[in-house]
């Protein structure tokens, strides 16, 4: 006797366009509100983007992160991040920490006098501590990192749009682009609203969200294309509803199991990865929503030429060249 867990029945008939103006309108309002919030409140950039100094320490004693933090607090250094570094090659009594300190005013790096005070404060907590490296990231380098991060997100988005155009048709790529803008925009908006630290790990999360979101969207688009060939006379809206219903079980199961893992990490993973995991959790939620309520709405709004539905436009593109692909 086999047991199969099902969060959604095999056959459903939900009308995902019943409140289309409400769901799609809410997405439009949320994206605009996120842009306004980001422009007005700005982002709480971490050391990666604001500049600062990273000090790497090593000790034979177990690390006292709370003690380190309490010792540095009176120095008024601003944003300080202390993390323990794990490496399977470390000896049993080798305890390494990474201490990141934000740039002090317009200075390129923390001054030697301040470094001396930091070392003295940490040695008061752990006399065995050694300082094995000190690295600084100036404001100029941080500015370059911001632009590199922006270009990486834009390049990933452009590549995804081109892929969807080649794989399907140009109308699908516009829908996919709208869904990606929706997901990234809402993620940036919530980070700005709650002033959650925004650093390079969040950029990595955004790129991961782009991949997760387009995966869900492509699954729906694939089923839509199959159904357009099977049901040539069925209205486009009904074919879209049928396609989302047929993929709903897979969508809910995939998103649900992913969220279980992410929420566990969010609760138990600690401060070091909490920002990354929060971005991923939020991204999975909005990415699932956009694949159901945003991408296909754009395709329906633009419309499809039902008389020119190739079975697989990408096959035509790769066998006959992009110039002969439809459209």
Is the pLDDT assigned to residue 326 strictly greater than 50? Answer: no
Cβ-based burial of 156 (10 A; exposed 0-12, middle 13-18, buried ≥19): middle
- Cis peptide before 239, with omega less than 30 degrees from 0? no
CB proximity list for 313: less than 8 A, separation 6 or greater: 166, 167, 168, 169, 325, 326
Enter the pTM of the model: 0.75
CB proximity list for 143: less than 8 A, separation 6 or greater: none
Q: Which two tokens stand for residue 203?
A: 């950029």
CB proximity list for 96: less than 8 A, separation 6 or greater: 56, 57, 58, 84, 85, 87, 90, 132
Residues 98-115: b if buried by 16+ CB within 10 A, e if exposed: bbbbbbbeeeebbeeebb
Query: Looking at residue 58, what DSSP letter applies?
Result: E
pLDDT band at 83 (very low <50, low <70, confident <90, very high): confident
Residues 89-148: pLDDT tens digits? Answer: 778 888 888 888 877 766 656 778 888 888 888 888 888 889 888 877 766 666 777 888
Residue 160 · residue 295 · CB < 8 Å: no
Residues 217-233: pLDDT tens digits? Answer: 889 999 998 998 888 88
For domain 20-44+142-302, the question of CATH label 3.30.559.30 is answered with no
Topology classification of domain 52-137: Alpha-Beta Plaits (3.30.70)
Closest CA to 183 of 198, 162, 205, 167: 205
Q: Which two tokens stand for residue 148?
A: 């590199």
Residues in the chain: 327
- Domain boundary assignment for the chain: 20-44+142-302, 52-137
Phi-psi region of 322 (alpha: psi -120 to 50; beta: other; left: phi over 0): alpha
C-alpha span between 117 and 196 (Å, rounded): 29
Mean pLDDT score of the chain: 83
């Amino acid at each position: 006797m086999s047991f199969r867990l099902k969060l959604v029945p095999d056959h459903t008939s939900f009308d995902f366009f019943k409140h289309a103006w409400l769901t799609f309108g809410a997405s439009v309002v949320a994206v605009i509100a996120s842009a306004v919030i980001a422009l007005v409140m700005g982002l709480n950039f971490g050391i990666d983007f604001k500049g600062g100094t990273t000090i790497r320490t090593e000790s034979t004693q177990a690390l006292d992160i709370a003690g380190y933090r309490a010792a540095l607090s009176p120095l008024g250094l601003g944003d300080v991040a202390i993390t323990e570094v794990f490496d399977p090659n470390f000896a049993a009594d080798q305890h390494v920490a990474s201490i990141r300190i934000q740039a002090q005013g317009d200075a390129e790096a923390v001054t030697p006098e301040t470094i001396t005070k930091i070392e003295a404060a940490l040695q008061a907590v752990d006399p065995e501590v050694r300082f094995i490296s000190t690295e600084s990231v100036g404001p100029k380098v941080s500015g370059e990192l911001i632009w590199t991060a922006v270009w990486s997100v834009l390049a990933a988005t452009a590549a995804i749009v081109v892929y969807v155009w080649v794989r399907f048709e140009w109308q699908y790529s516009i829908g996919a682009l709208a869904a990606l803008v929706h997901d990234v925009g809402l993620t940036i908006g919530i980070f700005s609203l709650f002033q959650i630290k925004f650093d390079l790990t969040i950029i990595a999360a955004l790129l991961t969200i782009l991949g997760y979101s387009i995966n869900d969207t492509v699954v729906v688009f694939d089923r839509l294309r199959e159904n357009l060939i099977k049901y040539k006379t069925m209205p486009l809206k009904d074919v879209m509803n049928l396609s989302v219903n047929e993929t709903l079980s897979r969508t809910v199961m995939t998103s649900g199991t992913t969220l279980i893992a992410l929420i566990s990490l969010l609760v138990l993973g600690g401060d070091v990865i909490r920002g990354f995991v929060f971005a991923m959790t939020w991204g999975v939620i909005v990415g699932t929503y956009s694949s159901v309520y945003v991408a296909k709405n754009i395709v329906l709004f633009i419309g499809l030429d039902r008389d020119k539905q190739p079975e697989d436009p990408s096959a035509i593109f790769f066998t006959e060249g992009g110039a002969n692909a439809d459209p």
